[in-house]
Structure 1
Amino acid sequence: MSQLARFADKVVIVTGAASGIGRAVLVRLVSEGAIAYGIDVNEAGLKETVELAEKQAAAGGRASFIAASISDEQEVKRFFQQVVEKEGRLDVLVNMAGILRSSQTTETSLAQFMEVINTNLVGTFLCCREALPHLVKTKGNIVNAASTSVYFGHPYMAAYSASKGGIMSMTRSLAWEYIRQGVRVNAIAPGGIATPLAAAQNQRMDGLDQSLFMHMTRPDQLFGQPEQVADVVAMLASADGGFMTGEVVKIDGGVHN
């Protein structure tokens, strides 16, 4: 784990922190001194994340969690208020929460489509909206989660791809809207990363044309690790990324070059 202290005394909110990339990000930032709050609907997973983070904590870093849904406007308002009232500030928002539902487009109901849009895109919007007034005060920053699906065709993922495309566009719009107020807004676009989300998708691939997925994986079938994505998030959210805003950084092991 890093011996850096780039987030000492920084207050951070990480959504989707119960597992996968969100968990790895929270653990990484706490290891660099962050006062980090994990947000997720999975309370048991959040507790595990906090335990892992506390083992790696350094430079005054500490971890807490608030179980909440980012697609619920009132819950989003509540947890932002809780964090700012307790800590007095907010420096970084990392939006990693998201869901994926793979299916033939003609078999995707409107309810299924909207479930993905509401969690991934609307949830990211709500968190950004609530965070921005606080980040203006601290000259803080946001890191959102897009996907390589915003650049390349990912079959059976119409809702997911649409949500991630919206996140990419929103990231760039917010970056320019707040550039004079000193708030940076960037995003990452992970490809094949070994997460519970990816594993769940693989279990739902029966009956789908497997050949359409070949352009999405490396020849050696190697998947990236959540910690490798967390490395990039930590850079973007720290002073090391201080001259970056409106960027969407691809992290896919070279698959989509």
Structure 2
Amino acid sequence: MERFDGRRVLITGAGSGIGQATVHRILAEGGRVVAADIDAAGLRATAERAAADGGGDRLVTAVLDISDEAAVRTGVAAAVSGLGGLDVLVNAAGILRASHTHETGLDFFNKIISVNLTGTFLMIREALPALLAGRSPVVVNFSSTSASFAHPYMAAYAASKGGIQSLTHAIASEYAKQGLRAVCVAPGSIQSGMTLDPGLPEDADPSLFGKLLPAIGKGFAGPETVAGVIAMLASQDGAFITGTEIRIDGGTHM
């Protein structure tokens, strides 16, 4: 498949997990990618695999803290310049931390909001002029099943992801007549670096989590599952999808 032949794509959170898997999927389909992450070692691993797969000549990596406004402004400008424009923005960067809500400090709460929600906003704001000048522009944001279903000990994370869904709806409406599509993926029951150890309290009550396993398959899926959906949404195959969330959880939350 070459759905991304000639498409210019910026992906955050590209040093691990779903973001990294999305880089490889887009490269495999012919896209040109700037892969950004705060983790330089993770980006090196992404680049090494891309080179091994034959797509290294269409990949540039960039260390970027999406919660830093000045860094985002500089990083997005550099990505747009290097790509010669921008057609797709995938906001996969995020952090997951858990705690009892009554023990959650303001610094803890603000950190999650600043990376997940504010960081997504900053990336969108800085990328919008280039996207609106691009070809069939798309923004793919990352929500979570925690935004719509109860995930105990994750109030800050859930709030950030709910905010991302609302942000996505707003920009999808605001820029629809200018040709922009904005969609969310809402992963759940996906095995990636962020979900392997969410840092649950030692006295966490497992009974509060209800049904934990997907209805289909034999357990959690890998990040490639989500990357495939992102590729569909960001391509012309998703041309009639905007302003909504796509839940990818194998039926865990039916």
What is the TM-score with the length of structure 2 in the denominator? 0.95
Distance 1:162 1:204 in 2: 17
- Aligned partner of 2:37 in structure 1 is 40
How far did residue 11 of structure 1 move? Answer: 1.1
The alignment's C-alpha RMSD in Å is 1.5
The counterpart of 1:119, out of the listed 115, 119, 124, is 115
Residue 234 of structure 2 is aligned to residue 231 of structure 1: no
- Contiguous gaps of at least 5 residues in structure 1: none
Residue 160 of structure 1 is matched in structure 2 by 157
Q: 3-state DSSP class of the match of 2:133?
A: helix
2: CA distance, partners of 1:129 / 1:215: 37
Secondary structure of 1:215 counterpart: coil
Q: 1:61 to 1:256 in 2, by over 3 A?
A: farther
User: Equivalent residue for 2:189?
Assistant: 192
Kept after mapping to 2: 8 A contact 1:25/1:230: yes
Q: Which segments of 5 or more consecutive residues in structure 2 lack a partner in the other structure?
A: none
Which residue matches 2:144?
147
Aligned to 2:179: 182
Amino acid at match of 1:161: A
Q: Aligned residue for 2:94?
A: 98
Deviation at 1:221, TM superposition (A): 6.7
Task: Report what 2:77 is aligned to.
Answer: 81
Q: 2:43, 2:54 → 1: CA distance?
A: 16
What's 1:27 paired with?
24
What amino acid sits opposite 1:136 in the alignment?
A: L
Aligned to 1:129: 125
**Structure 1 residue identity aligned to 2:193:** P
Q: Is the 8 A contact 2:144 2:185 kept in 1?
A: yes
The percentage of aligned residue pairs carrying the same residue is 46
Give 1:55's aligned residue: 52
TM-score, normalised to structure 1's length?
0.94
Q: 1:204 aligns with which of 184, 197, 200?
A: 200
Cα shift at 1:163? 0.2
SS in 2 for 1:113: helix
Amino acid at match of 1:127: M
